[in-house]
Structure formats: C-alpha cells, structure tokens
Amino acid sequence: MNKKEQQAIDFLRSMERDEPMCLGFSGGKDSVVILNLAERSGIKYNASYANTTVDPPGTISFIKKNYSQVQILHPKKSFFQLVESKGLPGRMRRFCCEKLKEQYGIGQRTIEGMRAEESQSRALYEPEQCDVRKWMKGAKHILPILNWSEVDVWNYIRKYGL
C-alpha cells in the first residue's frame, strides 16, 4: 500500500466515533475512491447519493449496479421546481446545493471526496473542515483525499479495479 493510501485510511480511522459517519457519494471518480478507502479502513459509515435531479444520465443506474450499499436520496422538490419558485441559481444564490445536496449533512460528520487541486478555495481547506454556516449546525467535512492529485485518484482506481 502506498503512503497516501495508508495516510487516508489512518485518517479515517482517527475520525471514527461511536456514531457512523456519513459518506457523500456522487458516482464520480473521487467518490469511488473514498468509498473504497472507507471500506478498507473498517470504519462505520452510511453512504448516500443526493439525487439533484439534473445529474448526468446513467448516474443512478451506475450506482445501483455497482454500489448497492449507497442509499439514493430523493429531494422534496426537483431542481426545476426550485428554479420555478426561486429563479435561476448563481454564485450569490446557491440555493440548489443547499436544497439538493447539503441538507443531508446538517449537523453530521461527512466523508467527502474534495481535493485541494480542484480550486483555490479548496486548497485552503484542512482535512477536517468545520462548516461555519449556522444552518449547518456544526457539520464537519472529513476529507481523506484532500492532498491527492487527479493522477493519484486514477492510479488508485486502476490499482483496485474500481
């Protein structure tokens, strides 16, 4: 096992408490890796996919076929229903993420596949990132692959046949 894999597994184990952590799964490459790392670490977790209703076709069937341990969560209102009532989302109006994804992490400790190289703001994150928004009620983002590169992710996927 390489050093980054071991660090990620050790980090996940160090984050474990009595209650299972949440694991946010999108069906993408980073999610596939964090799910596998969580399984290999032996921690308690509940994996879920937040259906935004506008994800690429085939995402849900891919998850059902390959990752049956992931619970698929459906929103009360679709993206288009939200747009009807609130208008189009924008940088300063991010209601769609709040309503379609982030509501499932309120007050939770959630394992996520964010990586520092994805954006300048994510490059400033810590592996255990506290969510400071009041409505998130102390949620924590657990980021085991924060310092992985895209190459690291693809090498891991190939190595384990994910």
Q: What is the pLDDT of residue 90?
A: 74
Q: Name the region of 149 (left: φ>0; alpha: ψ -120 to 50; beta: rest).
A: beta
Amino acid making up residue 72: I
Q: What is the pLDDT of residue 98?
A: 61
Amino acid making up residue 45: Y
Place of tokens 């982030």: 102
Q: Is residue 92 part of a domain?
A: no
Q: Is residue 66 part of a domain?
A: yes
Q: Is residue 99 part of a domain?
A: no
d(CA 22, CA 19): 9
Q: 45-50 and 128-130 as β-strands: parallel, antiparallel, unpaired?
A: unpaired
Say how many Å lie between the first and final Cα of the chain, rounded: 16
d(CA 96, CA 90): 9
Q: Does residue 59 contact residue 83 with C-beta atoms inside 8 Å?
A: no
The total domain count for the chain is 1
Q: Is residue 130 part of a domain?
A: yes
Q: Which domain holds residue 40?
A: 3-76+105-160
pLDDT band at residue 99 under the 50/70/90 scheme: low
Q: Is residue 100 part of a domain?
A: no
Say what percent of the chain tops pLDDT 70: 89
pTM reported for the whole predicted model: 0.88
Q: pLDDT tens digits for 35-51?
A: 999 999 999 999 999 88
Q: Is residue 14 part of a domain?
A: yes
CATH code for the domain of 67: 3.40.50.620
Q: Check residues 122 and 88 and name the one with the higher pLDDT.
A: 122
CA angle 32, 79, 46 (to 5 degrees): 35
Q: Name the region of 27 (left: φ>0; alpha: ψ -120 to 50; beta: rest).
A: left
Task: Find the helix or strand (DSSP H, E) in which 155 lies.
Answer: helix 150-160
Q: Is residue 85 part of a domain?
A: no
Q: Is residue 82 part of a domain?
A: no
